[in-house]
Structure 1
Amino acid sequence: MSTIRVAALQMRSGTDIQRNVADFEALVREAAGMGAAYVQSPEMTGILVRSREALFERVRPAEEDPLVGMAAALARELSLFLHVGSTAIRLGDDKVANRAFLFGPDGARIATYDKIHMFDVDLDNGESWRESATYAPGSESIVATLPDMRLGLSVCYDLRFPQLFRAQALAGAEVLTVPAAFTRQTGAAHWHVLTRARAIENGAWLIAAAQGGRHADGRETYGHSLVVDPWGRIVAEAEHDDPAVIVADIDTAAAGAARAKVPNLQNAREFAVAEAVYGRRAS
């Protein structure tokens, strides 16, 4: 048995970085008090602000970011693995990174991951998002090896790209992570279906810490932070959009058991896609 207690933090981050950092600290301490050895926060833990100008006024490089510094200190003080789902990190004059950070119990940085897939969409309710106008996409997937689990990193919109999670599962990831700030509209339609599907098709645990509620910049996010087991069962959920901590005890051996029952990772085959056209005789 390789059991670890994990926690997902549900937040309602706003435009005030110091307040967000304080909220993050309080929730991390609550999770530690519940016995969590691994704690994950949502996408954009440090700041949620829609205005590009306001964002650039506030964000800093990683070495100056107050959330990053607080996370390292908390991981060391509380002796846990602390995964900042993501926050905005300044890269230069015209771009920022949507970057995740993973810290160990000694406070050392284990890994960073920059969100690969940019949320450039137009929704039915008039919402329009162009992350690529502000954020520089990442180009490298990350699988982190911890003492009790191998962890695949992703951020929010990455959830809609199953090839990312399949590559992580093939690289040995037993736990997939999806810190998110799903919109209320897309979350209500797709959040549970997509998170469960990624867990099922890869025979992996999935931990998804989410933003929830109406934020200071006017956006609304779905909440419903989740922990899903490798058989697709939801074992922990915040069934609302308010700030909260959820915990679950996960046994990473369950990933191997699920993959043994349905060995689709082994059974996958290469194939070509051919075209068939009505009116044209097949050769």
Structure 2
Amino acid sequence: MTRLALWQGAGVPGDLSATVAEVARVTEAAAGSDILVFPEGFLTGYHIPGLAPGALPGVEGALRAVAAIAARAGMWLVMGTHLDDGTTLRNAAVILGPDGREHGRYAKRALFGAWEKATFAPGTTPVSFDAGGLRVGVAICYDVEFPELIRAHALAGAQLVVVPTALMVPHDRVARQIVPVRALENQIFMGYANRAGTEPGLTFTGLSCICGPGGEVLARAGAEPVLLTADLDPAALRAERAEACYLSDLAELTGL
């Protein structure tokens, strides 16, 4: 059994120290979880008008501090953050292990809207890791709206896909409809961790959710900050695939 936790909330944009303190507080509240997922852009803030390379000093140091929090908690943390190497910005999720080490950086592949496309370089490579007895794939927000990206994770063996998100009004249909369908059509678990509150020009929908392999909603948030948890049983994956397994039947249909 794997306990998944999602934090629906926001950090303190522009104040990395205060945001790291919030990470520590939330991680303590999620004690007993195997994996804790934070929303898209949690560490840095998501929507930063005028953001340009070189404008986010201190992010690497803050990530090292978050890694230390993961080690103290004995927990896997998936941290949404913008990454800035001085020449290129990426919208990313960084995987930090209970050993206090970094285990991967995923850069969002499907950039959404004019601001993201003008600000970030898209990622090109999927990222996954093993945690709590499950193979875990990583996607970010708009990625989940492309069935092909989540199907590729499932075909590669992912049993859970976690999705740091900054879903804004009026796009609540993504959280309400698409995420459960992605779980159902791949017979996997999905963990969709959205922001709460507002940023310049944006109001976030909340509606974070954890879905099971039959498309069932195991936990669902409203609009306010909240910690969601659910226990994920690998036996549920086997049971859902026992009579008809979409992935193996697809292979027969297409010769994959």
| TM-score when normalising by structure 1 | 0.83
1:281 is matched with none
Specify which of 193, 213, 216 is matched with residue 233 of structure 1.
216
1:51 CA drift (Å)? 4.0
- Corresponding position: 1:70 with 2:52: no
Aligned ranges 1:197-208 → 2 under 5 Å? 197-208=181-192
- Corresponding position: 1:24 with 2:6: no
Specify which of 149, 157, 164 is matched with residue 164 of structure 1.
149
In the alignment, structure 1 segments of 5+ residues that lack a partner are: 121-128, 272-283
AA aligned opposite 2:77: L
1:219 is matched with 202
- Corresponding position: 1:50 with 2:35: no
Specify which of 127, 135, 150 is matched with residue 150 of structure 1.
135
1:59 CA drift (Å)? 1.3
Specify which of 61, 80, 91 is matched with residue 85 of structure 2.
91
Equivalents in 2 of 1:224, 1:14: separation in Å?
A: 21
| TM-score when normalising by structure 2 | 0.91
1:9/1:244 contact within 8 Å kept? yes
AA aligned opposite 2:44: I
Equivalents in 1 of 2:133, 2:37: separation in Å?
A: 16
Q: Once the two structures are superposed, what CA deviation does each residue of 1:79-113 show, in whole Å capped at 9, x if it has no partner?
A: 111111x20110333x3111111111111111211
- Corresponding position: 1:115 with 2:108: yes
Q: Once the two structures are superposed, what CA deviation does each residue of 1:21-43 show, in whole Å capped at 9, x if it has no partner?
A: 322221111111xx212111111
1:10/1:42 contact within 8 Å kept? yes
Specify which of 153, 172, 177 is matched with residue 193 of structure 1.
177
SS of residue paired to 1:259:
helix
Q: Once the two structures are superposed, what CA deviation does each residue of 1:142-198 show, in whole Å capped at 9, x if it has no partner?
A: 2212351000110000011111111111111110111100012012x3322110010
CA 1:61 to 1:133, structure 2 compared with 1: closer, same or farther past 3 Å? Answer: farther
1:219 CA drift (Å)? 1.4
In the alignment, structure 2 segments of 5+ residues that lack a partner are: none
2:44/2:59 contact within 8 Å kept? no
Equivalents in 2 of 1:218, 1:157: separation in Å?
A: 18
Specify which of 124, 138, 143 is matched with residue 139 of structure 1.
124
1:266 is matched with 248
1:60 CA drift (Å)? 3.2
SS of residue paired to 2:30:
helix
1:263 CA drift (Å)? 1.3
Higher radius of gyration, 1 or 2: 1
1:79/1:106 contact within 8 Å kept? yes
CA RMSD of aligned residues (A): 1.9
CA 1:176 to 1:49, structure 2 compared with 1: closer, same or farther past 3 Å? Answer: closer
Q: Once the two structures are superposed, what CA deviation does each residue of 1:237-265 show, in whole Å capped at 9, x if it has no partner?
A: 11x22211111111123122212233111
1:115 CA drift (Å)? 0.6
AA aligned opposite 1:200: L
Equivalents in 1 of 2:96, 2:211: separation in Å?
A: 23
1:9 CA drift (Å)? 0.4
AA aligned opposite 2:33: A
2:207/2:220 contact within 8 Å kept? yes
1:102 is matched with 95
Provide the identity percentage.
Answer: 29
1:277 is matched with none
